[in-house]
Amino acid sequence: MGTPQLEFDSDVADRIYRYVERHGSATREEVRDAVRVEETAGAKPPRSGTEPEGRLPVAEFGEHVDELLDDGLLTERDGRLYVSPDAEERIHEADGFEYVTRPAREDDREAIAERIRETAEEGAIVVDERAADAIEEDGALIRLNERESRMFFVAEIRRGGDDEGDARGESDGEDASDGDREVIGWVHLQGFELPARSHTAELTVGVAPEYRERGVGGTLLERGIEWAEEEDCIKVYQSLPATNEDALELLDEHGWEREATRADHYEIDGDLVDEVQLATRLDE
253 SS3 class: helix
Please determine, for residue 4, whether its predicted confidence score (pLDDT) is greater than 80.
no
Q: Please, what is the average pLDDT of the chain?
A: 83
Structural domain contains residue 27: yes
Range with the poorest average pLDDT among 22-26, 30-34, 222-226: 22-26
Q: What angle do CA 5, 10, 16 make, to 5 degrees?
A: 80
State the Cα–Cα distance between residues 131 and 268, nearest whole angstrom.
17
Write the CATH number for 246. Answer: 3.40.630.30
In a domain, 1, yes or no: no
Domain end marker among 30, 55, 83: 83
Q: Which domain holds residue 127?
A: 90-281
Residue 188: predicted pLDDT: 92
Q: What was the pLDDT predicted at 137?
A: 73
Query: pLDDT at residue 173 above 60?
Result: no
What pLDDT, in 10s, does the model give residues 25-70? 999 999 999 999 876 544 454 444 444 478 999 999 999 999 999 9
Single residue among 32, 67, 83 that ends a domain in this structure: 83
State the sign of the Cα–Cα–Cα–Cα dihedral 231, 229, 234, 99.
positive
Residue 155 CB contacts under 8 Å (≥ 6 apart), including other chains: 92, 99, 100, 101, 183, 184, 185, 186, 207, 211, 216, 219, 220
Among 163-167, 235-239, 248-252, name the one with the lowest average pLDDT.
163-167
**Are 107 and 219 found together in one domain?**
yes
For every residue of 21-87, DSSP letters joined together read HHHSEE-HHHHHHHSEEEPPTTSPPPPTTS-SEEEPPHHHHHHHHHHHHHTTSEEEETTEEEE--S-
Within this chain, do residues 145 and 192 fall inside the same structural domain, yes or no? yes
Residues 190 and 261 placed together within one structural domain of the fold: yes
Instruction: Let me know whether 196 and 144 are in one domain.
Output: yes
Residue 99, domain member (yes or no): yes
Which burial class, exposed, middle or buried, applies to 179 when counting CB atoms under 10 A from its CB (0-12, 13-18, 19+)? exposed
Give the model's pLDDT for residue 222.
96
Q: 154 and 66, same structural domain?
A: no
In a domain, residue 166? The reply is yes
With respect to residue 26, please indicate whether it lies within any of the assigned structural domains. yes
